[in-house]
Amino acid sequence: MLDWNDLRHFLAVARTGSTLAAGRQLRVSQTTAARRVTALEAELKLILFERRPTGYVLTPAGEALLEQAEAVEAAAGSFADAAATQSRDARGTVKLTVDEIYAIALLPPILKELHEAWPEIRIELDPSEAKRDLQAGEADVALRATKGRADASLVGRRLGQDYWTIYCSRDYAAAHGRPRRRSELHGHAFIGGGSPMVWHVWREWLERNGFADQVAVHHGTSTGLLAAARAGLGLAVLPSLVADLDPDLVRCLPPERDHEFEFWLLTHERLRHTPRVRAVLDFLYERLIRVVRERDGRVAQDAAAPVVQAVRG
C-alpha cells in the first residue's frame, strides 16, 4: 500500500528539483527525502526522476503521475482542514495579492461566493502587479503566474497554464476581419501598453514583427488593454483566463510557447494550517480550477470548429 509520506516527498522533490531543497521544505534530512522517493519508485516499479548533476528531473512516468499526486495532496489537505474547522473557527482578515486585471475581471464573482460561504473572513485585496513578499507578511495568499519554481518557503497548488495572446472584440472582427495568422495582422490597429512587465514583452514582440507603427492607442495598465479591446479599438495582448471567457472577445492567434507561465495559488509554510488562510486557499482553488477547465474546454472547441466545418463542407 502506498505511503502518503512518500507522496509528500515525491511532490516536494518535483517542485524544488532536488532532495536537499525538498528536505529543507519538509524539515527532514536530504537522505530521508531521497530514501522516500526511492521507496515510492520501488513500490510503483517505476522510475519517477532522472538523477542529474544539476538536480532531479521528472521522467515521463513522473510527469504522468504528478497531477494525481497533487489531487491526493489536495484531498488530504481538505480532510485535515475539515477536521480543524470542527474545533477552530475560520475568521479574521486574509490579505490576497493578485495582478489587477485578474482582481477586476476574474475574481469579483468568486469573492462574492467566498463571502457568502465564510462571512467572518474579511478579504483585503491587493490588486498589484508588484511581487509581494509572503515570507515578510506583505500578503497571506498570492495568485501568481511564474515560469520558475516558487520559493521553497512557499506552499501552494498549481492551477494550470497562464498565457497571454492577441484578442479583439467581436464588433472589431465583424468590421475589420478576424486575423488568425501573423501574416494577417498587417493593416490592423494595435493597442499598446499594459503594466511595465507586460508592455516590455508586448512592445518587443510588436517591434520584432514589424507592427510597432500600427499602435493606435496606448494604455498604462493591463485593465486598460482589456477595456480598449472590448471597445473595439484594435488588437490587444490579454491573459487567456480572462479573454477566452469574455463573450465580447475572440482569440486571434494561438499563444507562443515562450510566453506560457504556470498559475499558482501560494501561501507561506507557516500559514498553511491557519484556518482562515486554509479556507480561502481551498475555496479559491475549487472555483479557479473550474475557470481553468472551462477555458481549456472552450479553446479546444474553438480549435476544432474549422476542422468540423471542413469535414461538413
How many CA atoms does the CB half-sphere of 110 hold within 13 Å? 21
Q: What is the mean pLDDT of residues 197-219?
A: 91
The Cα 185–Cα 296 span in angstroms is: 25
Cβ-based neighbours of 216, under 8 Å, separated by 6 or more? 189, 190, 191, 233, 234
**Confidence label for 208 from pLDDT (cuts 50, 70 and 90):** very high
Residue 302 pLDDT > 80, yes or no? no
pLDDT of residue 257: 66
Residue 56 pLDDT > 90, yes or no? yes
Q: Estimate the crossing angle of helix 30-44 against helix 19-26, to 10 degrees.
A: 110
* pLDDT single digits (tens) 275-297: 999 999 999 999 999 999 888 88
The Cα 150–Cα 129 span in angstroms is: 16
**Confidence label for 57 from pLDDT (cuts 50, 70 and 90):** very high
Nearest Cα residue to 141 out of 275, 292, 272: 272
Q: Estimate the crossing angle of helix 275-312 against helix 60-87, to 10 degrees.
A: 140
Nearest Cα residue to 69 out of 15, 124, 137: 15
Q: Give the helix, strand, coil percentages of the chain, each rounded to 5.
A: 50, 20, 25
pLDDT of residue 87: 45
| Cβ(244)–Cβ(299) below 8 Å | yes
Model-level pTM greater than 0.95?
A: no
**Confidence label for 1 from pLDDT (cuts 50, 70 and 90):** low
pLDDT of residue 312: 27
Domains and CATH numbers, the chain: 4-70 (1.10.10.10), 88-304 (3.40.190.290)
pLDDT of residue 134: 87
